[in-house]
Structure 1
Amino acid sequence: MTSEKLERSLINFQKAMDRFTEVIQEPESSIVMDATIQRFEFTYELMWKTLKIFLEDIHGIRTVSPRQVFKEAYSLSIVEQEEIFLEMIKSRNLLSHTYNEEQASDIYKKCPSYVSAMQNVYDQISAGR
Protein backbone atom coordinates (compact mmCIF):
# COMPACT_ATOMS: atom_id res chain seq x y z
CA MET A 1 0.00 0.00 0.00
CA THR A 2 1.31 3.41 -0.96
CA SER A 3 1.42 6.17 1.63
CA GLU A 4 0.05 9.65 1.05
CA LYS A 5 3.56 10.95 1.63
CA LEU A 6 4.88 8.83 -1.24
CA GLU A 7 2.03 9.89 -3.53
CA ARG A 8 2.64 13.60 -2.82
CA SER A 9 6.36 13.13 -3.31
CA LEU A 10 5.82 11.36 -6.65
CA ILE A 11 3.57 14.18 -7.86
CA ASN A 12 6.14 16.82 -6.91
CA PHE A 13 8.97 14.78 -8.42
CA GLN A 14 7.06 14.44 -11.72
CA LYS A 15 6.35 18.18 -11.82
CA ALA A 16 10.02 18.94 -11.21
CA MET A 17 11.06 16.53 -13.96
CA ASP A 18 8.62 18.17 -16.36
CA ARG A 19 10.19 21.56 -15.64
CA PHE A 20 13.71 20.12 -15.89
CA THR A 21 12.89 18.48 -19.24
CA GLU A 22 11.33 21.71 -20.46
CA VAL A 23 14.42 23.84 -19.81
CA ILE A 24 16.78 21.28 -21.39
CA GLN A 25 14.95 21.77 -24.68
CA GLU A 26 15.69 25.50 -24.75
CA PRO A 27 18.56 26.88 -26.87
CA GLU A 28 21.75 27.21 -24.86
CA SER A 29 22.49 30.53 -23.21
CA SER A 30 23.90 31.61 -19.85
CA ILE A 31 20.38 32.10 -18.48
CA VAL A 32 19.23 28.69 -19.74
CA MET A 33 22.35 27.07 -18.29
CA ASP A 34 21.67 28.65 -14.88
CA ALA A 35 18.01 27.64 -15.01
CA THR A 36 18.92 24.09 -16.04
CA ILE A 37 21.37 23.73 -13.18
CA GLN A 38 18.84 25.10 -10.69
CA ARG A 39 16.19 22.70 -11.95
CA PHE A 40 18.68 19.83 -11.79
CA GLU A 41 19.33 20.67 -8.14
CA PHE A 42 15.72 20.68 -7.00
CA THR A 43 14.76 17.69 -9.17
CA TYR A 44 17.70 15.74 -7.77
CA GLU A 45 16.61 16.55 -4.20
CA LEU A 46 13.03 15.45 -4.90
CA MET A 47 14.23 12.30 -6.64
CA TRP A 48 16.43 10.97 -3.87
CA LYS A 49 13.92 11.88 -1.17
CA THR A 50 11.08 10.21 -3.10
CA LEU A 51 13.23 7.14 -3.59
CA LYS A 52 14.03 7.17 0.14
CA ILE A 53 10.30 7.18 0.99
CA PHE A 54 9.67 4.41 -1.54
CA LEU A 55 12.42 2.22 -0.10
CA GLU A 56 11.01 2.64 3.39
CA ASP A 57 7.29 2.32 2.54
CA ILE A 58 7.50 -0.52 0.02
CA HIS A 59 10.67 -2.40 0.95
CA GLY A 60 11.08 -1.56 4.66
CA ILE A 61 14.59 -0.22 4.07
CA ARG A 62 15.66 2.82 6.06
CA THR A 63 18.30 5.05 4.52
CA VAL A 64 19.71 8.43 5.50
CA SER A 65 21.87 9.70 2.64
CA PRO A 66 21.57 9.97 -1.12
CA ARG A 67 24.51 7.59 -1.60
CA GLN A 68 22.87 4.97 0.62
CA VAL A 69 19.52 5.45 -1.16
CA PHE A 70 21.08 4.89 -4.58
CA LYS A 71 23.09 1.87 -3.45
CA GLU A 72 19.97 0.23 -1.98
CA ALA A 73 17.93 1.09 -5.08
CA TYR A 74 20.66 -0.41 -7.26
CA SER A 75 20.69 -3.61 -5.21
CA LEU A 76 16.93 -3.89 -5.78
CA SER A 77 17.28 -3.13 -9.54
CA ILE A 78 15.25 0.08 -9.18
CA VAL A 79 18.30 1.96 -10.42
CA GLU A 80 19.99 0.34 -13.40
CA GLN A 81 23.16 2.41 -13.70
CA GLU A 82 24.48 3.20 -10.24
CA GLU A 83 27.37 5.23 -11.69
CA ILE A 84 25.18 8.01 -13.08
CA PHE A 85 23.49 8.48 -9.71
CA LEU A 86 26.83 8.62 -7.91
CA GLU A 87 27.89 11.18 -10.53
CA MET A 88 24.75 13.20 -9.73
CA ILE A 89 25.76 13.26 -6.07
CA LYS A 90 29.16 14.63 -7.07
CA SER A 91 27.59 17.24 -9.37
CA ARG A 92 25.13 18.34 -6.71
CA ASN A 93 27.87 18.64 -4.10
CA LEU A 94 30.10 20.66 -6.42
CA LEU A 95 27.26 23.07 -7.14
CA SER A 96 26.27 23.51 -3.51
CA HIS A 97 29.75 24.34 -2.23
CA THR A 98 31.05 26.70 -4.88
CA TYR A 99 30.05 28.16 -8.21
CA ASN A 100 32.65 27.62 -10.88
CA GLU A 101 31.56 28.46 -14.41
CA GLU A 102 33.60 25.66 -15.98
CA GLN A 103 32.17 23.06 -13.59
CA ALA A 104 28.67 24.45 -14.13
CA SER A 105 29.12 24.11 -17.88
CA ASP A 106 30.28 20.50 -17.52
CA ILE A 107 27.28 19.67 -15.31
CA TYR A 108 24.92 21.46 -17.72
CA LYS A 109 26.13 19.15 -20.51
CA LYS A 110 25.33 16.10 -18.35
CA CYS A 111 21.77 17.21 -17.60
CA PRO A 112 20.07 15.40 -20.53
CA SER A 113 21.45 12.08 -19.29
CA TYR A 114 20.51 13.01 -15.72
CA VAL A 115 16.89 13.72 -16.60
CA SER A 116 16.69 10.46 -18.53
CA ALA A 117 17.99 8.50 -15.52
CA MET A 118 15.59 10.37 -13.24
CA GLN A 119 12.68 9.48 -15.51
CA ASN A 120 13.67 5.81 -15.27
CA VAL A 121 13.59 6.07 -11.46
CA TYR A 122 10.16 7.67 -11.59
CA ASP A 123 8.91 4.89 -13.89
CA GLN A 124 10.33 2.19 -11.60
CA ILE A 125 8.80 3.70 -8.49
CA SER A 126 5.42 4.19 -10.19
CA ALA A 127 5.38 0.60 -11.38
CA GLY A 128 6.55 -0.77 -8.02
CA ARG A 129 4.06 0.88 -5.72
Structure 2
Amino acid sequence: METKKEELAFHISRLERALATLDEILEQPFSVIIRDATIQRFEYCFELSWKLLKKALKIDGIDVNSPRQTIRAAFETGYIDDIDIWFEMLEDRNMTSHTYDPDIANQVYESANRLPEEIRKVLKILAKSR
Protein backbone atom coordinates (compact mmCIF):
# COMPACT_ATOMS: atom_id res chain seq x y z
CA MET A 1 0.00 0.00 0.00
CA GLU A 2 1.22 3.48 -0.85
CA THR A 3 2.26 5.82 1.87
CA LYS A 4 0.50 9.16 2.09
CA LYS A 5 3.63 10.89 0.79
CA GLU A 6 3.78 8.58 -2.23
CA GLU A 7 0.10 9.15 -2.90
CA LEU A 8 0.57 12.92 -2.67
CA ALA A 9 3.59 12.69 -4.99
CA PHE A 10 1.45 10.81 -7.50
CA HIS A 11 -1.20 13.56 -7.43
CA ILE A 12 1.46 16.26 -7.76
CA SER A 13 2.87 14.47 -10.80
CA ARG A 14 -0.57 14.26 -12.41
CA LEU A 15 -1.14 17.95 -11.84
CA GLU A 16 2.28 18.85 -13.24
CA ARG A 17 1.54 16.88 -16.43
CA ALA A 18 -1.85 18.54 -16.77
CA LEU A 19 -0.32 21.95 -16.15
CA ALA A 20 2.12 21.33 -19.00
CA THR A 21 -0.83 20.85 -21.36
CA LEU A 22 -2.39 24.11 -20.17
CA ASP A 23 0.93 25.93 -20.61
CA GLU A 24 1.23 24.48 -24.10
CA ILE A 25 -2.18 25.73 -25.25
CA LEU A 26 -1.70 29.16 -23.65
CA GLU A 27 1.38 29.67 -25.84
CA GLN A 28 -0.81 29.48 -28.96
CA PRO A 29 -2.19 32.61 -30.64
CA PHE A 30 -5.79 33.30 -29.68
CA SER A 31 -8.58 31.85 -31.77
CA VAL A 32 -12.00 30.50 -30.86
CA ILE A 33 -10.69 26.94 -31.17
CA ILE A 34 -7.69 27.71 -28.94
CA ARG A 35 -10.00 29.43 -26.44
CA ASP A 36 -12.26 26.39 -26.31
CA ALA A 37 -9.33 23.98 -25.92
CA THR A 38 -7.91 26.22 -23.19
CA ILE A 39 -11.20 26.15 -21.31
CA GLN A 40 -11.18 22.34 -21.32
CA ARG A 41 -7.61 22.24 -20.02
CA PHE A 42 -8.41 24.91 -17.43
CA GLU A 43 -11.28 22.77 -16.22
CA TYR A 44 -9.24 19.62 -15.62
CA CYS A 45 -6.28 21.52 -14.18
CA PHE A 46 -8.56 23.28 -11.71
CA GLU A 47 -10.15 19.95 -10.74
CA LEU A 48 -6.77 18.33 -10.16
CA SER A 49 -5.63 21.38 -8.17
CA TRP A 50 -8.42 21.44 -5.66
CA LYS A 51 -8.32 17.65 -5.30
CA LEU A 52 -4.56 17.81 -4.65
CA LEU A 53 -5.18 20.45 -2.00
CA LYS A 54 -7.90 18.27 -0.50
CA LYS A 55 -5.42 15.36 -0.33
CA ALA A 56 -2.73 17.52 1.29
CA LEU A 57 -5.23 18.83 3.84
CA LYS A 58 -6.36 15.28 4.64
CA ILE A 59 -2.74 14.31 5.32
CA ASP A 60 -2.64 17.30 7.68
CA GLY A 61 -5.74 15.95 9.46
CA ILE A 62 -8.20 18.40 7.90
CA ASP A 63 -11.25 16.85 6.26
CA VAL A 64 -13.02 18.87 3.59
CA ASN A 65 -15.56 17.81 1.01
CA SER A 66 -16.27 20.55 -1.49
CA PRO A 67 -14.01 22.72 -3.61
CA ARG A 68 -15.15 25.80 -1.65
CA GLN A 69 -14.30 24.18 1.72
CA THR A 70 -10.97 23.02 0.30
CA ILE A 71 -10.04 26.48 -0.95
CA ARG A 72 -10.97 28.07 2.37
CA ALA A 73 -8.96 25.50 4.38
CA ALA A 74 -6.02 25.73 1.96
CA PHE A 75 -5.96 29.48 2.49
CA GLU A 76 -6.14 29.10 6.27
CA THR A 77 -3.23 26.64 6.25
CA GLY A 78 -1.14 28.76 3.88
CA TYR A 79 -1.27 26.45 0.85
CA ILE A 80 -2.75 29.29 -1.20
CA ASP A 81 -2.11 32.97 -0.68
CA ASP A 82 -4.99 34.61 -2.58
CA ILE A 83 -8.36 33.12 -1.72
CA ASP A 84 -10.21 35.58 -3.95
CA ILE A 85 -8.45 34.40 -7.12
CA TRP A 86 -9.22 30.78 -6.26
CA PHE A 87 -12.89 31.54 -5.58
CA GLU A 88 -13.09 33.46 -8.88
CA MET A 89 -11.55 30.53 -10.71
CA LEU A 90 -14.00 28.17 -8.96
CA GLU A 91 -16.90 30.27 -10.21
CA ASP A 92 -15.42 30.26 -13.69
CA ARG A 93 -14.94 26.49 -13.52
CA ASN A 94 -18.61 26.22 -12.59
CA MET A 95 -19.52 28.23 -15.70
CA THR A 96 -17.62 26.04 -18.15
CA SER A 97 -20.83 24.31 -19.19
CA HIS A 98 -22.09 27.72 -20.38
CA THR A 99 -19.16 28.57 -22.61
CA TYR A 100 -21.42 28.55 -25.66
CA ASP A 101 -21.92 32.20 -24.60
CA PRO A 102 -18.88 34.06 -25.99
CA ASP A 103 -18.73 36.48 -23.04
CA ILE A 104 -18.60 33.63 -20.52
CA ALA A 105 -16.10 31.75 -22.68
CA ASN A 106 -13.82 34.78 -22.77
CA GLN A 107 -14.11 35.22 -18.99
CA VAL A 108 -13.16 31.58 -18.39
CA TYR A 109 -10.30 31.92 -20.88
CA GLU A 110 -8.94 34.82 -18.82
CA SER A 111 -9.09 32.68 -15.68
CA ALA A 112 -7.22 29.96 -17.51
CA ASN A 113 -4.41 32.43 -18.06
CA ARG A 114 -4.13 33.04 -14.30
CA LEU A 115 -4.32 29.42 -13.19
CA PRO A 116 -0.76 28.25 -14.04
CA GLU A 117 0.86 30.80 -11.76
CA GLU A 118 -1.46 29.87 -8.90
CA ILE A 119 -0.79 26.15 -9.41
CA ARG A 120 2.96 26.75 -9.39
CA LYS A 121 2.64 28.61 -6.08
CA VAL A 122 0.76 25.67 -4.56
CA LEU A 123 3.28 23.15 -5.86
CA LYS A 124 6.15 25.20 -4.45
CA ILE A 125 4.48 25.48 -1.04
CA LEU A 126 3.67 21.77 -0.96
CA ALA A 127 7.26 20.90 -1.90
CA LYS A 128 8.56 23.01 1.01
CA SER A 129 6.08 21.58 3.51
CA ARG A 130 6.77 17.92 2.80
Same structural fold, with TM-score higher than 0.5 when normalized by the shorter chain: yes
CA RMSD in angstroms comes to: 1.5
Report the Cα offset of residue 64 of structure 1.
Answer: 0.3
1:14 aligned residue: 16
Output the CA distance in 1 between the equivalents of 2:4 and 2:99: 38
Q: Percent identity?
A: 33
Aligned residues: 128
1:80 aligned residue: 81
Output the CA distance in 2 between the equivalents of 1:106 and 1:16: 21
Answer whether contact 2:89 2:111 (CA < 8 A) is retained.
no
Report the Cα offset of residue 97 of structure 1.
Answer: 5.4
* Corresponding position: 1:122 with 2:123: yes
Kindly provide the CA deviation profile for residues 28-76 of structure 1, in whole angstroms up to 9, marking residues without a partner as x.
011110111000000001000011001111x110110111111011111
- Which stretches in structure 2 are left out of the alignment for 5+ residues? none
Output the CA distance in 2 between the equivalents of 1:92 and 1:109: 12
How do 1:47-66 and structure 2 match up within 5 A?
A: 47-57=49-59, 59-66=60-67
Kindly provide the CA deviation profile for residues 74-95 of structure 1, in whole angstroms up to 9, marking residues without a partner as x.
1111110000000011001111
Answer whether contact 2:99 2:105 (CA < 8 A) is retained.
no
Kindly provide the CA deviation profile for residues 79-129 of structure 1, in whole angstroms up to 9, marking residues without a partner as x.
100000000110011113563221011211232212211211121112212
Instruction: Give the AA of the match of 2:76.
Output: S
1:103 aligned residue: 104
Residue 5 (structure 1) aligned to one of 4, 7, 12: 7
Runs of 4+ residues deviating >6 angstroms: none
- Which stretches in structure 1 are left out of the alignment for 5+ residues? none
